């Protein structure tokens, strides 16, 4: 007993932490940095690549949880060295509070993530695709409704705690730098042995962030696996109703919450079997019956309804995709079958054609670039974009896909969750002639930047959703000669700006949900430009659920 007390006393007198504590500290620090990067990257990719990142994120979260438990156990048995730092009592209390907060978050973040994963993925995890890990204890015994509520709470808490962690991480790093560079005390030396207080060119101050940066860059820029895409159908008749029209729409707009490894509400929409299996609320689709199909009900509720899908600010299925799902369900929700082998009305074929060519943004359906009814868009031929510029854009959150090999045109979609920079627009300008479709959601695009975009001569579809654009910037869009479809949803556009936009000679449709545009303003613009459709939003009433559809021909 006496030897144990003496050992603890000697431990407390150490000038630095033990080797075990130091190793655990930096392993946890590396895990935190990697988790932040994985979370950021997951918002930029989709499909198989996102599933890989999500699985790694979950595995690393459990690893951080175990390392934190080991660190705390070691801390309780081996007291930290004496605090010889220089600072006021308030500063020391703040530092102590930050440390306690870190410990709390290092448990709370993985635990909320583990709970969310357990409520969203049946059968438990496999850490790093190999090591079995059970679901969170007892959650499986809760009623389905309670599981859904708890999943939402876990998701909200997990997201909020990330921001708290970033704040504490910043305080922790700034505090360490203050001790080292301003107070010139040996605080940093306790966790990075050999650090010389007050030395600006201290090798550890350079090596630690450099190692993190190199490691993070390697992870962030690593090539992710991609699914082999289905060959594009030559025309509507040869398109498979489910595989070419319904599943791609569900993949693009629903799988961030309803994939096999992230099945919110127990519902995966990753494939036909999963769709028909349904979730904790019961079947998602009832063959031939829209009223009993929960999937259809959720996507046609009024936006803002607590059960409307998708939740939050995620872009919903557009009107053509929603109508196509209605047609598919009433046709008996077949697993496969060519559209040409089924009997549909001309109106239904037109809807399916638009959904087949839809790029998936909120409220928009377009058939540009897709073979339609025996004809095809004539695409302008432009020089190929500089591969280095495209690679630079893709490394900062853009996805660029070639429309057609013979034309060199590109569909460009911005997927990151940060404001666009001057460097981003400088790169966009370099490939401006090659851009056919440009989508920027919540990129904080300004009026000046919109004027720059208006110079992209081959843009046919432009989607600037959730950006603080005003009438001043909108005035420049009237000069875009190729522009046919435009979305300024959730901008600051008014009736005045709409009239400026309506002067674009080829414009056929403009989407202005949640803007200052009024119905009177929309009517005025449509009267001034015959053939122009101004879309102020949609409701379930816009889709006729009773439109007859004959059973597919077997």
Residue 363 belongs to some domain of the structure: no
Q: Is residue 2 predicted with pLDDT exceeding 70?
A: no
Same domain, 347 and 396: no
Per-residue pLDDT, averaged over 152-157, amounts to: 85
Whole-angstrom distance, CA of residue 127 vs CA of residue 122: 14
Give the helix/strand (H/E) hosting 133.
Answer: strand 131-133
Query: CATH number for the domain including 53?
Result: 1.20.950
Higher pLDDT, 554 or 187: 187
Higher pLDDT, 154 or 547: 154
pLDDT digits (tens, 9 = 90+) for 116-141: 888 876 556 788 888 888 888 888 77
What ranges in 255-386 are assigned the alpha helix state H?
A: 272-277, 294-299, 319-330, 346-357
Same domain, 21 and 115: yes
Residue 376 belongs to some domain of the structure: no
By C-alpha distance, which of 117, 152, 537 is closest to 307? 152
Please measure the distance between the N-terminal and C-terminal CA atoms of the chain and give it in whole angstroms.
83
Higher pLDDT, 229 or 367: 229
Residue 294 belongs to some domain of the structure: yes
Residue 230 belongs to some domain of the structure: no
List the structure tokens of 148: 């859904």
* 419 close to 443: Cβ distance less than 8 angstroms: yes
Tell how strand 461-465 and strand 435-441 pair up. parallel
**How distant is the alpha carbon of residue 434 from its chain centre?**
25
Residue 551 belongs to some domain of the structure: no
pLDDT band at 88 (very low <50, low <70, confident <90, very high): confident
Report the mean per-residue pLDDT for the chain: 80
Query: Helix (H, G, I), strand (E, B), or coil: what is residue 535?
Result: strand
Cis peptide before 310, with omega less than 30 degrees from 0? yes
Write the CA distances from 358 to 43, 161, 352, 457, 484, integer angstroms.
21, 37, 10, 22, 14
Q: Is residue 383 predicted with pLDDT exceeding 70?
A: yes
Percent of the chain with pLDDT over 70: 85
Whole-angstrom distance, CA of residue 512 vs CA of residue 487: 6
Range list of β-strands (E), 378-532: 398-402, 410-414, 435-441, 461-465, 485-487, 509-511
pLDDT band at 111 (very low <50, low <70, confident <90, very high): very high
pLDDT digits (tens, 9 = 90+) for 3-34: 443 444 444 446 788 899 999 999 998 899 88
Which are the contacts of 511, defined by CB distance < 8 A and separation ≥ 6? 362, 363, 364, 485, 486, 487, 488, 489, 535
Same domain, 202 and 257: no
pLDDT score for 370: 34
Whole-angstrom distance, CA of residue 441 vs CA of residue 147: 32
**Four-CA torsion 359, 360, 361, 366, nearest 10 degrees:** 50
Write the CA distances from 149 to 21, 146, 495, integer angstroms.
38, 5, 41
List the structure tokens of 366: 């377009």
Same domain, 270 and 161: no
Write the CA distances from 484 to 139, 458, 497, 511, 532, integer angstroms.
51, 11, 17, 11, 9
Q: Is residue 366 predicted with pLDDT exceeding 70?
A: no
- Expressed as residue numbers, the domain containing 287 is 236-357
Q: Among 135-149, 181-195, 442-456, name the one with the lowest average pLDDT.
A: 135-149
pLDDT score for 495: 92
pLDDT score for 378: 62
Residue 552 belongs to some domain of the structure: no
* 504 close to 478: Cβ distance less than 8 angstroms: yes
| Phi, psi at 349, each rounded to 5° | -65, -40
Global confidence as pTM: 0.56
Same domain, 127 and 173: yes
Q: Is residue 107 predicted with pLDDT exceeding 90?
A: yes
Whole-angstrom distance, CA of residue 8 vs CA of residue 12: 6
Same domain, 51 and 11: yes
Query: Helix (H, G, I), strand (E, B), or coil: what is residue 506?
Result: coil
pLDDT score for 254: 79
Per-residue pLDDT, averaged over 250-263, amounts to: 73
Per-residue pLDDT, averaged over 175-180, amounts to: 85
Same domain, 185 and 64: yes
pLDDT digits (tens, 9 = 90+) for 334-353: 989 898 899 888 888 888 88
By CB neighbour count within 10 A (0-12 exposed, 13-18 middle, 19+ buried), where does 300 fall?
buried
* 358 close to 402: Cβ distance less than 8 angstroms: no
Same domain, 245 and 318: yes
Higher pLDDT, 476 or 202: 476
pLDDT score for 462: 92
Write the CA distances from 324 to 318, 349, 531, integer angstroms.
10, 9, 24
Residue 174 belongs to some domain of the structure: yes
Same domain, 210 and 291: no
Per-residue pLDDT, averaged over 484-493, amounts to: 90
Count of alpha carbons within 13 angstroms of residue 182, beta-carbon side: 8
pLDDT score for 4: 43
pLDDT score for 139: 80
Residue 370 belongs to some domain of the structure: no
pLDDT digits (tens, 9 = 90+) for 59-80: 999 999 999 999 999 988 888 8
Same domain, 169 and 58: yes
Number of structural domains found in the chain = 3
pLDDT score for 338: 92
Same domain, 171 and 41: yes
Among 175-184, 264-273, 299-308, 402-411, the range with the most confident prediction by mean pLDDT is 175-184
Q: Among 356-365, 486-495, 530-539, name the one with the lowest average pLDDT.
A: 356-365
Query: Helix (H, G, I), strand (E, B), or coil: what is residue 273?
Result: helix
Query: CATH number for the domain including 391?
Result: 3.80.10.10
Strand order in the sheet with 410-414: 398-402, 410-414, 435-441, 461-465, 485-487, 509-511, 533-535
* 425 close to 432: Cβ distance less than 8 angstroms: no
pLDDT band at 551 (very low <50, low <70, confident <90, very high): very low
Same domain, 41 and 88: yes
Among 213-227, 367-381, 539-553, the range with the most confident prediction by mean pLDDT is 213-227
């Amino acid at each position: 007993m006496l030897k144990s007390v003496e050992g603890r006393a000697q431990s407390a007198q150490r000038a630095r932490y033990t080797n075990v504590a130091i190793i655990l500290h930096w392993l946890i620090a590396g895990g935190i940095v990697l988790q932040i990067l994985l979370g950021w990257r997951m918002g930029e990719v989709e499909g198989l690549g996102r599933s890989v990142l999500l699985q790694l994120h979950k595995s690393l979260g459990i690893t951080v949880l175990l390392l934190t438990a080991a660190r705390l156990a070691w801390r309780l048995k081996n007291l930290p060295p004496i605090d010889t730092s220089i600072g006021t009592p308030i500063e020391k209390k703040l530092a102590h509070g930050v440390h306690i907060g870190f410990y709390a978050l290092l448990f709370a973040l993985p635990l909320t993530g583990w709970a969310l994963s357990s409520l969203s993925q049946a059968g438990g995890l496999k850490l790093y695709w190999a090591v079995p890990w059970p679901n969170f204890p007892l959650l499986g015994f809760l009623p389905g409704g309670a599981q859904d509520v708890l999943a939402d709470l876990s998701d909200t808490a997990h997201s909020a705690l990330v921001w708290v962690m970033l704040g504490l991480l910043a305080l922790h790093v700034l505090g360490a730098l203050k001790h080292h560079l301003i107070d010139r005390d040996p605080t940093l030396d306790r966790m990075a042995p050999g650090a010389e207080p007050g030395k600006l060119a201290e090798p550890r101050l350079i090596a630690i962030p450099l190692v993190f940066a190199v490691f993070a860059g390697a992870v962030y820029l690593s090539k992710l696996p991609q699914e082999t895409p289905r060959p594009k159908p030559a025309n509507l008749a040869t398109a498979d109703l489910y595989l070419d029209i319904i599943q791609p729409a569900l993949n693009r707009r629903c799988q961030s919450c309803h994939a096999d490894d992230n099945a919110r509400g127990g519902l995966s929409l990753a494939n036909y079997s999963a769709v028909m299996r349904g979730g904790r609320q019961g079947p998602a689709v009832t063959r031939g019956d829209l009223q009993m199909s929960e999937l259809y009900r959720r996507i046609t509720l009024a936006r803002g309804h607590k059960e409307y899908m998708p939740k939050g600010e995620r872009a919903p299925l557009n009107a053509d995709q929603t109508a196509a799902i209605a047609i598919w369900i009433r046709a008996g929700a077949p697993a496969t079958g060519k559209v040409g082998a089924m009997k549909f009305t001309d109106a239904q074929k037109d809807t399916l054609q638009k959904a087949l060519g839809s790029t998936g943004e909120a409220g928009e359906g377009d058939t540009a670039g897709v073979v339609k009814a025996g004809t095809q868009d004539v695409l302008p031929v432009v020089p190929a974009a500089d591969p280095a510029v495209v690679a630079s854009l893709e490394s900062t959150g853009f996805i660029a896909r070639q429309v057609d090999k013979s034309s060199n045109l590109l569909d460009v979609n911005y997927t990151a969750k940060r404001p666009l920079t001057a460097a981003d627009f400088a790169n966009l300008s370099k490939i401006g002639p090659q851009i056919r479709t440009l989508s920027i959601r919540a990129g904080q695009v300004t009026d000046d930047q919109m004027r720059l975009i208006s110079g992209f001569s081959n843009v046919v579809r432009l989607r600037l959703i959730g950006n603080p654009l005003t009438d001043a910037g909108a005035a420049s869009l009237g000069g875009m000669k190729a522009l046919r479809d435009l979305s300024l949803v959730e901008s600051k556009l008014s009736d005045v700006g709409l009239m400026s936009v309506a002067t674009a000679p080829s414009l056929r449709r403009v989407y202005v949900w949640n803007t200052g545009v009024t119905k009177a303003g929309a009517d005025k613009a449509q009267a001034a430009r015959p053939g122009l459709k101004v879309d102020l939003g949609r409701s379930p009433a816009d889709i006729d659920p009773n439109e007859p559809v004959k059973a597919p021909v077997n």
